[in-house]
């Protein structure tokens, strides 16, 4: 059963076409990986899916489907603690979550110093804080732009477990990453975005097969 469907989604900035007829149907309880070079259009596609950018074509979501978005590069105001950042995100989403629930989740999953200023966190800690805020919003569809970027080994393992947990809760996840090994572990399917187009016939076998497909496509360009 589809939670979201894109049909011929295109986006241009002036004369530059960043997305060119992207089509993809996503089901409930599935994890979709998106790979591609820098500038291939991944972030632009995510912004279109969240309604943050205009586009041509059609994106259909269920009437009551909620969306949570983790950008590749989040912004953290100075002198705002982790607690305050989460409170701000939840208010903007119209969600109320008690301090005890936040502390329980942090103690068991994220292990962040929430009483410290978020702008002073490491890149990996900021990534985890952003994901924690999205997780507490409890959306149906998670759109995660480079969620593994900058996080350490333990953080990567926890992130994979969280994504698997979301799938078990019948949530849908669309994520981008350059980590083919990680995507291969957590995704039901992986899609290759090249110069604004999703390539048909993309291999979703072993990591070696995916790498070989990408290299062959580049050599044939």
Extents of the domains making up the chain: 1-65+140-221, 75-138
Considering the entire predicted model, what is its pTM? 0.91
Q: Is the pLDDT of residue 144 over 60?
A: yes
Start-to-end C-alpha separation, the chain: 36
Q: Which range among 78-92, 155-169, 199-213 shows the weakest confidence by mean pLDDT?
A: 199-213
Q: Does domain 1-65+140-221 have CATH number 3.30.70.20?
A: no
pLDDT at residue 148, rounded to an integer:
93
Q: Is the pLDDT of residue 105 over 90?
A: yes
Whose CA is closest to 149, among 168, 122, 167, 172?
122
pLDDT at residue 89, rounded to an integer:
95
Mean pLDDT of the 94-98 span = 92
Mean pLDDT of the 44-48 span = 96
pLDDT at residue 12, rounded to an integer:
96
Pairing state between β 56-61 and 172-176: unpaired
């Amino acid at each position: 059963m589809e939670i979201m469907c894109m049909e011929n989604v295109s986006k241009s900035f002036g004369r530059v076409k960043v997305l060119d007829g992207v089509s993809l149907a996503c089901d409930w309880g599935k994890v979709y990986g998106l790979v591609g070079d820098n500038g291939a259009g991944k972030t632009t596609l995510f912004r279109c899916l969240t309604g943050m950018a205009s586009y041509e074509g059609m994106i259909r979501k269920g009437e009551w489907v909620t969306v949570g978005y983790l950008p590749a590069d989040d912004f953290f105001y100075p002198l705002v603690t982790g607690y305050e950042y989460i409170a701000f995100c939840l208010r903007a989403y119209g969600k109320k979550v008690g301090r005890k629930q936040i502390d329980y989740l942090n103690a068991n999953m994220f292990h962040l110093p929430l009483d410290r200023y978020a702008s002073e966190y490491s890149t990996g800690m900021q990534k985890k804080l952003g994901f924690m805020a999205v997780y507490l919003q409890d959306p149906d569809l998670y759109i995660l732009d480079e969620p593994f970027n900058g996080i350490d080994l333990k953080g990567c393992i926890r992130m994979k477990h969280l994504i698997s947990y979301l799938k078990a809760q019948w949530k849908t996840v669309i994520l981008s990453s350059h980590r083919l090994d990680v995507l291969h572990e957590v995704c039901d399917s992986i899609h290759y975005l090249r110069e604004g187009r999703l390539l048909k016939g993309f291999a979703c076998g072993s990591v070696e097969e995916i790498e070989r497909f990408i290299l062959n496509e580049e050599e044939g360009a």
